[in-house]
Each structure stands twice: as structure tokens, then as C-alpha cells.
């Protein structure tokens, strides 16, 4: 990997100004004697941080507002993944992340999430089975109650009729 070339901030500001005028990366690079990739990286850094000065320390860009929003999306997606039986793909799409980025993030930083998701899925299956059993029991109970009421009504009717003896 080649050593980093240190460009003056004034050159970076010129590139950003040209970009804000609607010029493309290639055109800006040709005009200022830079590569398209250098211009693209500067513009990406400017969008992420709002600063036109160079970022001196590796990782400083990770303190920008867009990075923080992305981290918030990862956190929300992780919480949902750990507590629901929804698929990782649907969760990633819901939170504006790609499946691979979310999967890799969880594997790298939160390996316990897969286990928690498995528990959530098993819990959802068990709850569905319990709900099904409760519905069947409720139906049997209703049928039994209806049968008992019919028998009781028949007994009451026999008691009301004069001259009947058992």
C-alpha cells in the first residue's frame, strides 16, 4: 500500500466547492490534478463529518453524525433480533441495513445475539403451541358447558311438569 500523500486543506476545500457546484469526481480530479478516488474519499468524509479539513487521526470520521445514526440502527436491529423471531433479512431491511453488514456486525461484536435469537424463536413457537392448546381447551370447555346447560334445562323442565315422578 502506498504511503499517504498529505494535501493542503485549501486543495480539499477547492474540491468540495467544485463538488457543491455539481461537478463530478472525475472532472474535479482532472481539474485539480487528483485521482477520482481521492476526490470521492474527500467528499465522503465531508458528507460524514461536515468538515472540509483533513481528518488527521484514523477513525475520527467514525464520530460523525452519519456514523452515529448507523450505530443507532445497528443497536435497534440487534435489540429486535435478540427479542423476536423475525428473520435477520427482514430486520436488516426494516432498519436500513444490508443483510451482510448486520450479520457480520452481530458476529463480530455481539456473538451472543444468535443464541438470544434462537431462544426468542423457541419461545415464540412454544407460545403459539400454548395458544393453540388453550384455544382447544376453551372450545372443549364451551362444548361441555353447553351440554351441561342443556341437561340442566331438561331436568328443570321435568321438575316443572306436574304429575311427573322419578
pTM: 0.41
SS3 57: coil
The secondary structure of 93-126 as a DSSP string is HHTT--HHHHHHHHHHH-THHHHHHHHHHHHHHH
The answer to whether position 138 is within a domain reads no
**C-alpha torsion sign, points 72, 76, 79, 81:** negative
Q: What is the pLDDT of residue 99?
A: 87
Compute CA distances 5 → 35, 54, 94, 125, 155, whole Å: 12, 12, 40, 58, 101
Instruction: Answer with the one of 74, 95, 116 that is the final residue of a domain.
Output: 116
The answer to whether position 22 is within a domain reads yes
pLDDT in tens, 91-133: 999 988 888 888 888 888 888 888 888 888 888 889 999 999 9
- CB burial string 25-34: b at 16+ within 10 A, e below: beebbeeeeb
pLDDT in tens, the chain (166 residues): 455 667 888 888 999 999 999 999 999 999 999 999 989 988 888 887 777 776 554 444 555 556 668 888 999 999 998 888 888 899 999 988 888 888 888 888 888 888 888 888 888 889 999 999 999 999 999 999 999 999 999 999 988 887 655 5
Parent domain of 22: 9-53
Output the CA angle 6-51-24, nearest 5 degrees: 75
The answer to whether position 34 is within a domain reads yes
In sequence order, which residues have a C-beta less than 8 Å from that of residue 147 and are 6 or more positions away?
none
Residue 152 is placed in which grid cell? 340442566
Output the CA angle 75-80-83, nearest 5 degrees: 125
Count of domains forming the chain:
2
CA 84 to chain centre: 11
The answer to whether position 3 is within a domain reads no
The answer to whether position 73 is within a domain reads yes
Amino acid at each position: 500500500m502506498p504511503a499517504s500523500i498529505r494535501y493542503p486543506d485549501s486543495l480539499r476545500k477547492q474540491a468540495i466547492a467544485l463538488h457543491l457546484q455539481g461537478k463530478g469526481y472525475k472532472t474535479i480530479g482532472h481539474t485539480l490534478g487528483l485521482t477520482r478516488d481521492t476526490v470521492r474519499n474527500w467528499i465522503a468524509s465531508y458528507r460524514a463529518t461536515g468538515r472540509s479539513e483533513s481528518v488527521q487521526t484514523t477513525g475520527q470520521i467514525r464520530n460523525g453524525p452519519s456514523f452515529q445514526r448507523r450505530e443507532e440502527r445497528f443497536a435497534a436491529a440487534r435489540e429486535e433480533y435478540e427479542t423476536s423471531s423475525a428473520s435477520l433479512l427482514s430486520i436488516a431491511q426494516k432498519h436500513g441495513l444490508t443483510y451482510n453488514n448486520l450479520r457480520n456486525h452481530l458476529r463480530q461484536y455481539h456473538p451472543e445475539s444468535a443464541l438470544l435469537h434462537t431462544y426468542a424463536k423457541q419461545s415464540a413457537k412454544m407460545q403459539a403451541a400454548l395458544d393453540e392448546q388453550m384455544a382447544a381447551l376453551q372450545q372443549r370447555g364451551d362444548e361441555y358447558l353447553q351440554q351441561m346447560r342443556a341437561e340442566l334445562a331438561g331436568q328443570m323442565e321435568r321438575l316443572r311438569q306436574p304429575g311427573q315422578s322419578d
